[in-house]
Amino acid sequence: MFKPLLNVKISPIQKITFSGLLIAVVIILQKILAINYIPIVPFLRISLGGPALIIFSSLFLGPIYGLFIGAASDILGYFIFDPKANAFFPQITAIYAVLGLVSYFVFLLFKLIKNKTLMLIIEGATFIGLLVFITLYLCLNTNLQLYSSTYEVQLWQKIVIPIVLFLLLSLLFVSSIIFDKKSEKWNLIISPINISFSCFVIEVTVMVLFGTLMKGFAFGFATYPMILLTQIIVLFINVPLNTWLLILLLRITNRFYNKPETFYN
């Protein structure tokens, strides 16, 4: 069985108990403290910390626990809050299950990468490319089509959205570099730059690529361009949020780790 990457010194009973607590908190963050359904894009969800906790569960408890917590939180969250208002889509549950499973292996893979500058360059270049794509898409399209409805893109949206995304991107990189310099003082077991890069890769592969595909199956592939656009926009929100929350969670749970040396140098 896979060992937790963080080498956690807690018993199986404690892991099960902690899993239940994580599922409850993720449901609250995903269903109550979240933007779940925007009228223009009803399949869009901006969760204030839910994905970060699912990623953390995979690191703290292992990929099987992460898969279970991701799937269980979505299924229970639906039957508690949504059964009368919305249909159940197993494709959406699959996204959060894969998120909990894959996060473990992404962080494990990037354990092999010691060059932080390379990670910053790859992440930054990709983000800038996506920002250019979003800006051009909004500027070149006056209307966006969803199902049988057409939505006009306002001039202020074409200006404000790229500026806000650029500010989030800048804040992510500045904070990652600053936090990385403090990581030894904070006794972080994972470097903030590694956390940021891993969260970025997870968001692109699981939420944007796999997530858009699953939502295409759920809502119809006629909505695919709109789903892809919104998922890329949410990428700029989720990566900074997940990075900052994971750093905070690692600091809070620091005392649970067996760490003769840091996980990343």
Q: Flag whether pLDDT at 169 surpasses 50.
A: yes
Fill in the amino acid letter for 155: L
Question: For the stretch 30-64, what's the b/e string if a residue is b when 16 or more beta carbons lie within 10 angstroms of its beta carbon?
Answer: bbeebebeeeebebbbebbbbbbbbbbbbbbbbbe
> If pLDDT is split at 50, 70 and 90, which confidence band does 3 have?
low
> If pLDDT is split at 50, 70 and 90, which confidence band does 9 have?
confident
Q: Flag whether pLDDT at 95 surpasses 90.
A: yes
Distance CA 255, CA 237 (A): 29
pLDDT in tens, 54-86: 999 999 999 999 999 999 999 999 888 876 667
Nearest C-alpha neighbor of 33 from the set 47, 45, 21, 44:
47
User: According to the model, what pLDDT value does residue 1 have?
Assistant: 57
User: According to the model, what pLDDT value does residue 35 have?
Assistant: 73
User: According to the model, what pLDDT value does residue 264 have?
Assistant: 44
pLDDT in tens, 201-210: 999 999 999 9
Give the number of domains in the chain: 1
DSSP readout, 204-234? Answer: IIIIIIIHHHHHHHHH-GGGHHHHHHHHHHH
User: According to the model, what pLDDT value does residue 153 have?
Assistant: 81
pLDDT in tens, 27-51: 999 888 777 655 545 556 678 789 9
Give the angle subtended at the CA of 102 by the CAs of 243 and 262, to the nearest 5°. 55
Question: 28 φ, ψ to 5°?
Answer: -60, -45
Of the given ranges (63-67, 73-77, 113-117, 159-163), which has the lowest mean pLDDT?
A: 113-117
Domain presence at residue 263: no
Domain presence at residue 75: yes
Q: What percent of the chain has pLDDT over 90?
A: 53
Domain presence at residue 262: no
Q: Flag whether pLDDT at 23 surpasses 90.
A: yes
Fill in the amino acid letter for 144: L
What is the reported pTM?
A: 0.91
| Residue range(s) defining the domain that contains residue 40 | 12-256
CATH number where 24 lies: 1.10.1760.20
Quick one: average pLDDT of 81-106?
A: 89
Domain presence at residue 229: yes
pLDDT in tens, 226-261: 889 889 999 999 999 999 999 999 888 887 766 544
Domain presence at residue 4: no
Domain presence at residue 2: no
Computed over every residue of the chain, the mean pLDDT equals 86
- Segment holding 146, helix H or strand E: strand 143-146
